[in-house]
Amino acid sequence: MTKLSVNINKIATLRNSRGGNTPNVVQFAKDVQRFGAQGVTVHPRPDERHIKYQDTRDLKSVVYTEFNVEGNPIKSFMDLVLEVKPTQVTLVPDAVDAITSNAGWDTIKHRQFLTEVISEFKSNGIRTSIFVDPVLEMIEGAKTTGTDRIELYTESFAHHYGLGNKDAVMPFTEAAELSNEIGLGVNAGHDLSLDNIKFFKDHIPGLLEVSIGHALVSESLYLGIENVIQMYLHKLK
C-alpha cells in the first residue's frame, strides 16, 4: 500500500491568518495520525507564512509515523533539518517568493550541490528525496547525487487529467519505471486529490508515498478530515 503523508501547511496558513493558535497544528498532526495517515509533511519557508520553523521543532515529538520536511536547502533550512532530524527531507528548488512549488530540480546542472547536501543529511541518518519533473534525464541525474528517493512533481498530471486527458500519466509511469530499475524510491505530490489519486496510483509502479495537503484540507471542509483520510487510504490500497 502507498503511504499517505498529510501536508499540514494549510492548517498553519489558517492559524496565521487570525493569529493565536487556532487551529492548532500540533494537535492537527496528532489527529491525522490517529485517523490513519502514515506520515506528516511540512514545508517551512523562510518568510514563515504558513509552517513556522518552531512548528517543525514542536512537531518532532508528536509525529510517530513518518515526518517529512520539505524545502529549499538554504542554510537556515539545513540547520533546522539537522536539528529536528525528521524521517525524510525532500529537497525542493522553490524561490523565496514562490506561492507554491512550481518546478523540479535540474539534477544535472545542480548535481554537485545536491550531492553535497544529500551527503550531509544522509550522514545524519535522514532519508533524502529530490523533487523532480517526470523527465528521464532528471531521474538519471538524481541517481548520481546519492539520493534515496525522488518525489514526482504531479501538477501537470493533475491539470491534464482534470481536462480528461488520461494519457498525461504516461511520463510519470515511465519515470517510475526507470526509478525502480536504477534503485530509486518513488514518492509523488502536488495537486493530487480524491478525484485523481486512484488513477495515478494504479499507473505508478512502486509508488511508496504521496504527500497531499491543499486538496485534502479543502475536501475536508465538506467531508470531514477523518472521513477524507479514510477515503484516501481506501483509494491507495
Domain boundaries, the chain: 3-236
- What is the pLDDT, as a whole number, of residue 94? 78
State the amino acid at position 201 in one-letter form. K
Q: What is the pTM of this model?
A: 0.95
- What is the pLDDT, as a whole number, of residue 43? 97
- What is the pLDDT, as a whole number, of residue 100? 53
Please report how many Cα atoms fall inside a 13 Å half-sphere around the Cα of residue 115, on the Cβ side.
9
Strand partners, 211: 5, 189
| Residue stretches of the chain with pLDDT short of 70 | 95-102
Catalytic residue among 70, 151, 209, 219: 70
Please give the Cα distance from 3 to 115 (Å, whole number): 26
Burial (0-12, 13-18, 19+ Cβ within 10 Å), 154: buried
Q: Is the Cβ–Cβ distance between 233 and 205 less than 8 Å?
A: no
Catalytic residue among 50, 66, 151, 190: 190
Verify whether residue 234 is a known catalytic residue. Answer: no
- What is the pLDDT, as a whole number, of residue 99? 47
Verify whether residue 120 is a known catalytic residue. Answer: no
- Residue 40 has φ and ψ, to the nearest 5°, of -130, 130
Please give the Cα distance from 92 to 76 (Å, whole number): 14
C-alpha separations of 154 from 82, 83, 88 in Å = 28, 30, 19
First-residue to last-residue Cα distance in the chain = 5
Q: Is 70 helix (H, G, I), strand (E, B) or coil?
A: strand
Verify whether residue 66 is a known catalytic residue. Answer: no
- What is the pLDDT, as a whole number, of residue 161? 98
Let me know if domain 3-236 sits in CATH 3.40.50.970.
Answer: no
